[in-house]
Structure 1
Amino acid sequence: MKDTTTSSKWKATVAVAMSNYIEAGSIIAIATSISLWQTEFGLDSMAVGLLSALSANAFGAAIGAAIGGPLCDRYGRKFIYTYDLLLYMFGTMFAIFAFNFGSLLIGFVLTGIAVGAGVTAAWTYIAEEAPDGRRAGHVGVAQLAWSIGPMIGFLLAALLEPMGLLGSRIIFAHLFVIAFITWWVRRGLSESRRWTEKQANPNTVGTYRGIFEMFTKKKNITALLFLIGVYGLWNTVAGQAGIFQPRIYEATGLTDARSQYLLQVLVWGLTSAATFFGFMRYGDRVSRRWLYGFGAGLGIIAWAVLIWGPAGWFSLLVFAIGWGISSGLGAQAFYGLWAAELFATRYRASAQGFMFMIVRVMVGVLSLWFPLMLEKTGIHGVGFLIVGLLVAALLIGMIWAPNTQNKTLEEIEIERYGRLLDADHATEVAAGNIRTDGSAASGSTDSTAVRER
Structure 2
Amino acid sequence: MVDTRPTAPTTALPPVGTGPHRRRLGLLALVATFGGLLFGYDTGVVNGALLPMKQELGLTNVTEGVVTSSLLFGAALGAVLGGRIADGWGRRKTILVLAVLFFVGTVACVAAPTFGVIVVGRVLLGLAVGGASTVVPVFLAELAPYEIRGSLSGRNELMIVIGQLAAFLVNAAIGTLWGEGDGVWRVMLAVCALPAIALFVGMLRVPESPRWLASKGRDAEALAVLRQVRSDERAEAELADIRRSTTVAPDEPRESGWRTLLGNRWLVRIVLVGAGLGVAQQLTGINSIMYYGQTVLIESGFEASAALIANIAPGVIAVVGGVVAIRNMERIDRRTTLVLGFSLTTVCHFLIGTASVLLPAGNPARPWVILVLVVAFVGSMQTFLNIATWVVLSEIFPMQIRALGMGIAVFCLWTANALLGLSFPSLVAATGITGTFFGFGVVGLLALAFIWRFVPESRGRTLEQVEEGVTTGDVGAVATAGRRGH
Q: Give the alignment partner of residue 361 of structure 1, picking from 408, 415, 425.
A: 415
Give the Cα separation in 1 of the matches to 2:391 and 2:23.
21
Equivalent in the alignment of 2:237? none
**Structure 1 residues 284 and 389: CA distance shift in structure 2, 3 A:** same
Give the Cα separation in 1 of the matches to 2:288 and 2:387.
18
1:357 maps to a residue whose letter is F
2:115 maps to a residue whose letter is F
1:212 maps to a residue whose letter is R
2:337 is equivalent to residue 267 of structure 1: no
Question: Relative to structure 2, which stretch is displaced further, 229-238 or 147-156?
Answer: 229-238
**Structure 1 residues 67 and 352: CA distance shift in structure 2, 3 A:** same
Identical counterparts, % of pairs: 20
Q: 1:389: how far off?
A: 2.1
Structure 2: gaps of 5 or more residues: 1-12, 218-245, 360-365
2:33 is equivalent to residue 17 of structure 1: yes
Instruction: State the TM-score, normalized to the length of structure 1.
Output: 0.86
Question: Relative to structure 2, which stretch is displaced further, 242-251 or 38-47?
Answer: 242-251
Contact 1:65 1:120 in 2 (8 A): yes
Q: 1:350: how far off?
A: 0.7
Equivalent in the alignment of 1:386? 440
Equivalent in the alignment of 1:291? 337
Please provide the CA RMSD for this pair: 2.5
Residues 134-191 of structure 1 show CA distances to partners (whole Å, capped at 9, x for unaligned) of 1111011011101111111111111111422543222222111111012111110000
**Structure 1 residues 34 and 443: CA distance shift in structure 2, 3 A:** closer
2:392 is equivalent to residue 343 of structure 1: no
Give the Cα separation in 2 of the matches to 1:195 and 1:444.
27
Equivalent in the alignment of 2:149? 135
Q: Give the alignment partner of residue 211 of structure 1, picking from 254, 258, 265.
A: 258
Give the Cα separation in 1 of the matches to 2:432 and 2:367.
19
2:113 is equivalent to residue 66 of structure 1: no
Corresponding residue SS for 1:98: coil
Residues 349-400 of structure 1 show CA distances to partners (whole Å, capped at 9, x for unaligned) of 1111111111211222233332222212222232332212222223322343
Equivalent in the alignment of 2:203? 186
Residues 312-364 of structure 1 show CA distances to partners (whole Å, capped at 9, x for unaligned) of 24423432431232222333312222122211111101111111111211222
Equivalent in the alignment of 1:220? 267
Kindly report which structure 2 residues correspond to 1:99-114, keeping only aligned pairs within 5 A, or say none.
99-114=113-128
Q: 1:17: how far off?
A: 1.5
Give the Cα separation in 2 of the matches to 1:395 and 1:141.
28
Give the Cα separation in 1 of the matches to 2:50 and 2:380.
26
Contact 1:157 1:167 in 2 (8 A): no
Q: 1:114: how far off?
A: 1.0
Equivalent in the alignment of 2:280? 233
Q: 1:24: how far off?
A: 1.6
Corresponding residue SS for 1:5: helix
Equivalent in the alignment of 1:280? 326
1:167 maps to a residue whose letter is V
Equivalent in the alignment of 1:36? 52
1:143 maps to a residue whose letter is E
Give the Cα separation in 1 of the matches to 2:258 and 2:307.
44
2:94 is equivalent to residue 48 of structure 1: no
Q: 1:443: how far off?
A: 9.5
Equivalent in the alignment of 1:169? 186
Corresponding residue SS for 2:206: coil
Give the Cα separation in 2 of the matches to 1:315 and 1:196.
53
**Structure 1 residues 107 and 138: CA distance shift in structure 2, 3 A:** same
Contact 2:34 2:198 in 1 (8 A): no
Corresponding residue SS for 2:410: helix
Q: 1:132: how far off?
A: 0.8
1:240 maps to a residue whose letter is S
Contact 2:36 2:160 in 1 (8 A): yes
Structure 1: gaps of 5 or more residues: 420-438, 448-453
Equivalent in the alignment of 2:138? 124
2:95 is equivalent to residue 85 of structure 1: no
Equivalent in the alignment of 2:299? 251
How many residues matched? 421
Give the Cα separation in 2 of the matches to 1:226 and 1:301.
24
Q: Give the alignment partner of residue 322 of structure 1, picking from 357, 363, 376.
A: 376
Contact 1:230 1:394 in 2 (8 A): no
**Structure 1 residues 443 and 377: CA distance shift in structure 2, 3 A:** closer
Q: 1:444: how far off?
A: 9.1
2:110 is equivalent to residue 96 of structure 1: yes
**Structure 1 residues 138 and 217: CA distance shift in structure 2, 3 A:** same
**Structure 1 residues 140 and 59: CA distance shift in structure 2, 3 A:** same
Give the Cα separation in 2 of the matches to 1:215 and 1:10.
36
Residues 66-125 of structure 1 show CA distances to partners (whole Å, capped at 9, x for unaligned) of 211111111110121111110110110111122111221111011111111122110100
Equivalent in the alignment of 2:162? 148
Q: 1:262: how far off?
A: 3.1
Equivalent in the alignment of 1:306? 352
Question: Relative to structure 2, which stretch is displaced further, 224-233 or 123-132?
Answer: 224-233
Q: 1:446: how far off?
A: 8.5
Give the Cα separation in 2 of the matches to 1:168 and 1:42.
14
Q: 1:216: how far off?
A: 4.0
Contact 2:270 2:470 in 1 (8 A): no
Q: Give the alignment partner of residue 450 of structure 2, picking from 387, 396, 402.
A: 396
Instruction: State the TM-score, normalized to the length of structure 2.
Output: 0.81
Contact 1:66 1:353 in 2 (8 A): yes
**Higher RCO by CA contacts (8 Å cutoff, separation 6 or greater):** 2
Corresponding residue SS for 2:207: coil
